Structure 1
């Protein structure tokens, strides 16, 4: 037990103050992100959408994410991470405020697409910012701290969101706007004159001095593109947690909104509690490839245990397994992207990494709801297991090449 706590405390040592403030911004912003986990439930329970229509709207969020990740990566390389993060945080506020007024299928598709576009511009800029302010030897732990803050916010957001949704779904959108504004204020006033480990501006101005092979973007890197395909396959299965799993909890396991929120909050609590220590331990004991493969296996197991039963304890055990999977895959996939890039093209690498997840945001709800509607959730869980095996094999092969 003493060794565990020493390891846990060691995982936090050496991280810069700027890294902690970035984590604080992520926590405040994510604490308000209670719309997406309840969006499918909101559309089916409150607006009367069919499962198929809800899946299409959720896929529009993914389309916006793809566009936002691509544009965000390009803008980050061109203008720097500070301006892009500030713009995303403040420009998303009006979209949250007007979202409750869109009730029809077509209007909600358009509104969700634009909201996710503005929101997802933030991600590649934020990832580039983490690598900009973190010490090289603490890079993976810096990403983990950022994700830990994200998950702490994610544990609070859905839990509160479940109670707000029980009163009115409109409160979800307004709370998102308030938290995005608060995160924007913290970020702007701390980082407006903050310098990192290297001059971002100088790096952007020294393009002509960098050898040609170092200027390539992620979109010219064939090995990294294949790696990103594996990330997208994994993310397709993982993102069931944001769309089909809440519908499964509501419609099959017969949980009400409050208990769905508590179960979703359990994910954030587990990741918040274990991520830093587990990442600190596994990055010393295993290779990047091994961590990614083990993480994939845990994701597959999380769906395997749902096949025979949907008792409440099984739902929590499944969520625990997917938490461990998330801890092992998410930060290490970002580390691969940073290690593969340099300050000039980092935005494109972080952008492509975000696009991999954004593509899954499109495919996961659309394909997932279609299969669940036609063939049942057990068929969907079986498909997830098969895709996870493909992702694990792909990670093993491409990491040897990289």
Structure 2
């Protein structure tokens, strides 16, 4: 036990103060992550939307995320990550507050698009901030710390959201608004006068930030192919936030509290194990090897969902999915940041965020369509197969990169 604690402490060693502060902001923001995991159930149970309508609204969620990711990367290269992050957090607050008033399919779809457009401009700006404030030798650790904060918040948010949903689904939106406002206040206090460890020039109207030595993220063919496989991974993985909660509710017949606890277990497992796992594997294996294995493990977890063996089995399947997530997602950010130059970090991180966000346009609709027409068993087999295919794809493209 003592050695395990020592290893855990070593995994955090060397991280900058700014990396910890960014993680704190992310933790506060994601503690309010109540809307996303309960959105599909809210539409199905409270608003009585069909599965097709649920899938289309969640597709608008993904479309807004795509636009927000692109816009966030574009704005970050021009305005700097501080302004983009602060503005995104502050503008999200009133949208969360008024969202429960929109109860028709068309109006809710529009508001969900606006919400994710605003909220997801934060993501590439935050990724750039991590790269700017982290020590170069600790970049993967810094991203893992940030993800740990995300998942610590996600372990609390769904569990709290489950209790609030038992009172009223409207309370999950208000909880998200409070968290976003708190994160904005803390971020502005800590970072308004801080200077990054590495700087990149902001684009001026009369200047070009791209030089002949800088790659263009959107013309970098190997990076484009890499992002296609990131998108496929996301399409499969993020069934966790669309069809999996519906499966728990409709087939397994769990309560909102039980679903919140089960989804929160995902975040809790990552908090406990990710830094240890990343610290251990990055010294022994290449990012390519880790991502191949991690994607395949995620596929196994979805196959496990096709075997109904009770609540304990669902927790075990969730833990297996967590292992796959921990072995894949931190290294996608590291690879993207490493391939960029200081002048193009915003574009590269924005493109990578866009790859994950793009999946949310198609993933919810395809997932709900397959579940409605062919059943959840078919969905889980198809999701597992897609992840195995993506594992092979990562093996091929990362060897070329």
TM-score class, shorter-chain normalisation, is over 0.9
- Equivalent residues of 2:210, 2:216 under 8 A apart: no
What's the secondary structure of 1:139's corresponding residue? helix
CA displacement at 1:345 relative to structure 2: 0.4
Structure 1 Cα separation of the partners of residues 156 and 389 of structure 2: 33
- Equivalent residues of 1:148, 1:271 under 8 A apart: yes
What's the secondary structure of 2:195's corresponding residue? coil
State how 1:211-222 maps to structure 2 within 5 Å. Answer: 211-214=211-214, 216-222=215-221
- Equivalent residues of 1:68, 1:116 under 8 A apart: yes
- 2:226 is equivalent to residue 252 of structure 1: no
Please name the residue that 2:353 is paired with. Answer: 354
- Equivalent residues of 1:253, 1:310 under 8 A apart: no
Structure 2 Cα separation of the partners of residues 210 and 54 of structure 1: 41
Please name the residue that 2:197 is paired with. Answer: 197
Please name the residue that 2:282 is paired with. Answer: 283
Structure 1, unmatched stretches of 5+, are none
Please name the residue that 2:16 is paired with. Answer: 16
Structure 1 Cα separation of the partners of residues 277 and 20 of structure 2: 19
Change (3 A) 1:341 1:302: same
What's the secondary structure of 1:151's corresponding residue? helix
- Equivalent residues of 2:203, 2:209 under 8 A apart: no
The C-alpha deviation readout for 1:146-172, integer Å capped at 9, x for no partner, is: 000000000000000000000001110
The C-alpha deviation readout for 1:235-279, integer Å capped at 9, x for no partner, is: 111101101000000000110100000000100110000011110
Q: CA RMSD in A?
A: 1.4
Please name the residue that 2:332 is paired with. Answer: 333
Structure 2 Cα separation of the partners of residues 352 and 47 of structure 1: 34
CA displacement at 1:98 relative to structure 2: 0.7
CA displacement at 1:363 relative to structure 2: 1.5
Please name the residue that 1:147 is paired with. Answer: 147
Structure 2 Cα separation of the partners of residues 328 and 80 of structure 1: 30
- Equivalent residues of 1:203, 1:343 under 8 A apart: no
- Equivalent residues of 2:139, 2:334 under 8 A apart: yes
- Equivalent residues of 2:29, 2:179 under 8 A apart: yes
TM-score by length of 1: 0.97
What's the secondary structure of 1:49's corresponding residue? coil
CA displacement at 1:325 relative to structure 2: 1.0
- Equivalent residues of 1:89, 1:119 under 8 A apart: yes
Structure 1 Cα separation of the partners of residues 235 and 75 of structure 2: 26
Structure 2 Cα separation of the partners of residues 226 and 50 of structure 1: 35
Structure 2 Cα separation of the partners of residues 272 and 362 of structure 1: 28
State how 1:7-46 maps to structure 2 within 5 Å. Answer: 7-46=7-46
The C-alpha deviation readout for 1:204-232, integer Å capped at 9, x for no partner, is: 57976974131x32101110000001111
Structure 2 Cα separation of the partners of residues 337 and 73 of structure 1: 13
What's the secondary structure of 2:107's corresponding residue? helix
What's the secondary structure of 1:112's corresponding residue? helix
Structure 1 Cα separation of the partners of residues 216 and 94 of structure 2: 33
Change (3 A) 1:342 1:45: same
Stretch deviating more after TM superposition (202-211 or 111-120): 202-211
CA displacement at 1:292 relative to structure 2: 0.6
CA displacement at 1:199 relative to structure 2: 2.6
State how 1:3-402 maps to structure 2 within 5 Å. Answer: 3-200=3-200, 202=201, 204=203, 211-214=211-214, 216-402=215-401
Structure 1 Cα separation of the partners of residues 106 and 341 of structure 2: 42
The C-alpha deviation readout for 1:181-203, integer Å capped at 9, x for no partner, is: 00001111111110111234x46
- Equivalent residues of 2:99, 2:173 under 8 A apart: yes
Stretch deviating more after TM superposition (21-30 or 309-318): 309-318
Structure 2 Cα separation of the partners of residues 63 and 208 of structure 1: 29
CA displacement at 1:5 relative to structure 2: 2.5
Aligned length: 400
TM-score by length of 2: 0.97
- Equivalent residues of 2:202, 2:209 under 8 A apart: no
Structure 2, unmatched stretches of 5+, are none
CA displacement at 1:333 relative to structure 2: 0.4
- Equivalent residues of 1:302, 1:322 under 8 A apart: yes
Change (3 A) 1:121 1:203: closer
CA displacement at 1:362 relative to structure 2: 1.4
Structure 2 Cα separation of the partners of residues 143 and 209 of structure 1: 25
Structure 2 Cα separation of the partners of residues 98 and 304 of structure 1: 39
What's the secondary structure of 1:305's corresponding residue? helix
